[in-house]
Copies of this chain bind each other. A is one copy, B any other.
Amino acid sequence: MASLTVPAEIPSVAEDCEQLRSAFKGWGTNEKLIISILAHRTAAQRKLIRETYAETFGEDLLKELDRELSHDFEKLVLVWTLDPSERDAHLAKEATKRWTKSNFVLVEIACTRSPKELVLAREAYHARFKKSLEEDVAHHTTGDHRKLLVPLVSSYRYGGDEVDLRLAKAESKVLHEKISDKAYSDDEVIRILATRSKAQINATLNHYKDEYGEDILKQLEDGDEFVALLRATIKGLVYPEHYFVEVLRDAINRRGTEEDHLTRVIATRAEVDLKIIADEYQKRDSIPLGRAIAKDTRGDYESMLLALLGQEED
């Protein structure tokens, strides 16, 4: 369930554009006004606003926002305002430019999006960067990391619910053997995780737990970075909400909040499942996500995060 709230009666697109334009004019920028509009429009509505803004004022709304806003607030507004597939392309590109820590972002995009969304992100990547996502990922990684990441970002999994139980049984056996032998980057482990449908992998892991009495995620808890990546792959594919709760906890509880992670999760999930993630967060940490965020952030950044979380203060 999404956390995004959209007013029952929204102004016309032209009106939204006028209001945004006025927010940039005069003495200082009216951040509150910007939040009150952009944080309460769907992807389709934001797209229309960007198009109409460009037609009406001959300027790119994103460029205006970039000029008028700053720091974490700016990043959040920009990332949020992008179309979901453009946004994923942007986040993936940032990830391929940085060090290995950002490989988690690639796993996140490859595993928590629907198969079709991942294809659309790859299409947006072509349009924006004149390259393919997989060529940049393959180029910036080596060894086991490449072996896992390239097939993950290249996957176009079957998205249906049908499950082959015999296959689940056979492949849970393979996984159990390999993981018990600590052969984490074995071809078969990667093949199963990178190509099978999410429903099929879920069935395989259920069988794994039933048959071997062990939770594969527990077995992957203490390992090197590659093992952590493998763990993120499985969580992202099968328990995306838990995965996001973990990223949020990590981002918020660190000395000095990790704003990039916080920004990314809130912006990418607000229109998808942030409400469920927030519920899970509260169950896990006994503090509402909104309060945890409010404690750790401030100003317009905080307001925008809470607005996307559907928890605006008045």
Instruction: Give complex CA distance A138, B122 in Å.
Output: 21
| CB–CB A197/B132 < 8 A | yes
Contacts of A146 in B (CB 8 A): 187, 191
| CB–CB A132/B195 < 8 A | yes
Interfacial residues, chain A to chain B (CB-CB below 8 A): 115, 119, 122-123, 126, 130-135, 138-139, 142, 146, 150-151, 154-160, 162, 187, 191, 194-197
Contacts of A160 in B (CB 8 A): 126, 130
Name the one of B122, B132, B150, B196 contacting A135, with C-beta atoms under 8 angstroms: B196
Closest-CB distance, A155 to chain B (whole angstroms): 6
Instruction: Give complex CA distance A294, B138 in Å.
Output: 47
Main secondary structure of the interface of A (DSSP, over half): helix
Contacts of A194 in B (CB 8 A): 134, 138
A-B contact pairs, 16 of them (CB 8 A): A115-B126, A119-B156, A123-B156, A126-B159, A126-B160, A130-B162, A131-B158, A131-B197, A132-B155, A135-B157, A135-B197, A138-B195, A139-B191, A139-B195, A154-B154, A156-B156
Name the one of B134, B155, B156, B197 contacting A195, with C-beta atoms under 8 angstroms: B134
Q: List 18 additional contacts besides A119-B156, A126-B158, A135-B157; criterion CB under 8 Å.
A: A115-B126, A119-B119, A130-B158, A130-B160, A131-B197, A132-B156, A132-B157, A132-B158, A133-B156, A134-B151, A134-B194, A135-B197, A138-B191, A138-B194, A142-B187, A150-B191, A151-B151, A151-B154
Contacts of A134 in B (CB 8 A): 151, 154-156, 194-195
| CB–CB A156/B196 < 8 A | no
